[in-house]
């Protein structure tokens, strides 16, 4: 196993606020890791420490085989970073933006590389279009082309699909898997649970601390969350009533069903027992990632309290 990322105890403070607190991350080359957590959890700061844009206050390790402290410039040269906000020049065309990036990196075969990027991401017919006139999905493709133009070994994506329609998101993820299949390692932060499920593994960060790590199935299994689904006319109206009962962490309506979850099966069954009557029917169902993350947030909040 070749580790693209191998860091231990990463911490970063801004003033008296600890933004990242002892993060340990190991990621095998060619894998896609989904980085999840609410806004302000420390995801972006962690990404910036990994690629050498920020120096950690504590911790050590390597990224792409280079020391993240002493050899950060080497890490930067071999990393592609796609930020949350579109950061290319909106008054340049798609092709002009890519040509500029090629010059900044001092790449050889610039025209060949730009042409390959245009073809690989379906941008050939739009090459002369101004970047500022593109829709969110096409801006996303351009940003990905720019982040991978220098053929990096590590790709960091900071909420790359925010505000993009489902079809464009699916196309984007197909491209990410194609890149990973060629050996590129990808660390992507996202709020979308369906995107997390497309990753080889996931990590959940809250208040700067990594709370869970592994494949989706491993995270679901280790969380020990139980879920019951109620169905029947008007079952969704019970959400507020059931949510306040002991042992219930979430009670949310999904269409014509009510999704109830908690960490203890017996307590959860006691909470829904009064509603096991016509016209309602109940069945146990597998927990979702959303259930797990709400559970982790509740645990972290109780610990802080």
- At 91, which CATH number? 3.40.50.300
Residue identified by tokens 């999904």 is 254
pLDDT of amino acid 305:
41
Please tell me whether residues 264 and 161 are part of one structural domain.
Answer: no
pLDDT of amino acid 87:
86
Please tell me whether residues 130 and 172 are part of one structural domain.
Answer: yes
Instruction: Indicate the residue among 213, 236, 260 that finishes a domain.
Output: 213
Which range marks the domain in which residue 239 is found? 226-286
pLDDT of amino acid 298:
79
**What residues in the chain have per-residue pLDDT under 70?**
1, 300-305
Please tell me whether residues 176 and 281 are part of one structural domain.
Answer: no
Q: State how many domains the chain has.
A: 2
Q: Is residue 245 part of a domain?
A: yes
Residue 87: alpha-carbon gap to chain centroid: 19
pLDDT of amino acid 226:
95
pLDDT of amino acid 180:
94
Q: Residues 257, 235: contact at Cβ < 8 Å?
A: yes
> What are the angstrom distances between the C-alpha of 153 and each of 27, 52, 181, 287?
13, 14, 12, 35
pLDDT of amino acid 92:
96
Please tell me whether residues 35 and 144 are part of one structural domain.
Answer: yes
Q: Is residue 176 part of a domain?
A: yes
Please tell me whether residues 12 and 161 are part of one structural domain.
Answer: yes
């Amino acid at each position: 196993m070749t580790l693209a990322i191998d860091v231990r105890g990463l911490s970063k403070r801004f003033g008296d606020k600890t933004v990242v607190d002892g993060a340990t991350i190991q990621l095998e080359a060619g894998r896609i890791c989904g980085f999840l957590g609410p806004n302000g959890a420390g995801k972006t700061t962690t990404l910036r420490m990994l690629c050498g844009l920020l120096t950690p206050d504590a911790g050590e390790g390597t990224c792409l085989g280079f020391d993240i402290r002493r050899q950060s410039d080497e890490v930067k040269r071999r990393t592609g970073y796609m930020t949350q906000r579109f950061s290319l020049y909106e008054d340049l065309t798609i092709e002009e933006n890519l040509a500029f990036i090629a010059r900044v990196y001092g790449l050889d075969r610039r025209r060949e590389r730009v042409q390959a990027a245009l073809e690989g991401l379906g941008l050939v017919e739009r090459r002369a279009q101004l970047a500022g006139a593109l829709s969110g999905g096409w801006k996303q493709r351009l940003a990905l082309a720019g982040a991978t133009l220098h053929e990096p070994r590590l790709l960091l994506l900071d909420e790359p699909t925010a505000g993009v329609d489902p079809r464009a998101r699916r196309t984007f993820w197909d491209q990410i898997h194609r890149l990973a299949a060629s050996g590129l390692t990808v660390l992507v932060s996202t709020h979308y649970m369906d995107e997390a499920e497309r990753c080889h593994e996931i990590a959940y960060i809250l208040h700067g601390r990594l709370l869970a790590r592994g494949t989706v199935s491993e995270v679901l299994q280790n969380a020990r969350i139980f879920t019951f689904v109620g169905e029947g006319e008007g079952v969704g109206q019970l959400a507020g009533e059931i949510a306040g009962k002991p042992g219930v962490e979430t009670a949310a309506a999904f269409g014509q069903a009510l999704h109830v979850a908690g960490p203890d099966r017996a307590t959860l069954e006691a909470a829904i027992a009064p509603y096991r009557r016509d016209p309602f029917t109940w069945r146990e169902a597998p927990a979702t990632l959303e259930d797990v993350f709400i559970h982790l947030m509740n645990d972290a909040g109780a610990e802080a309290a």
